[in-house]
Amino acid sequence: MLIGVLSDTHYPKAYFPEKILEFFEKRGVRYIIHAGDVTEKQLLEKLENIAPVIAVRGNADKINLPEEETLNVMEKKILILHGHNFLSLNTQNLTYKALEEDADILIFGHTHRPYYNEVTTMGRRIILLNPGSPTLPRMSEPTFAIIRIEKEIDVRFKRVWML
């Protein structure tokens, strides 16, 4: 199963590349996760034409979205939040949050930079993932992520301009 992961698109302030929509469609993603700072519903509607969207509210969002969401797929629990309340790269706080929610993957945004870390604690493996921003990156390439869940979880970052 493939899941597309986005964050910090700030649409329409920032141009959203159609290449990403084509990539998701061509790969047959089953879900699209947006970790906040969507800013306008129109982007969510475009994404919904490809696959079901799970989106959370970021600090720049005025649209009505939940602060946190979970997605359960193939016996894996994915927790989604924006991260602005968690000192976004504080892996200790993010790991504790994942443990509290019994999540296998915690997806967050806010920094506009890709981040991946596997934490093993208390006998559990937790993946912390920030897909970066495909439209307004900070000190990085414009990116998004793809999660493949089969027996194992595989995460890949995609650079927008290399699609």
- Spans of all domains in the chain: 2-162
CATH no., domain 2-162: 3.60.21.10
Mean pLDDT of 125-140: 96
Digit-coded pLDDT (tens) for 80-132? 999 888 765 678 899 999 999 999 999 999 999 999 999 998 889 999 999 99
Closest CA to 4 of 40, 57, 55, 45: 55
Q: pTM for this structure?
A: 0.96
Could you report the per-residue pLDDT of 42-58, keeping only the tens digit for each?
A: 999 999 999 999 999 99
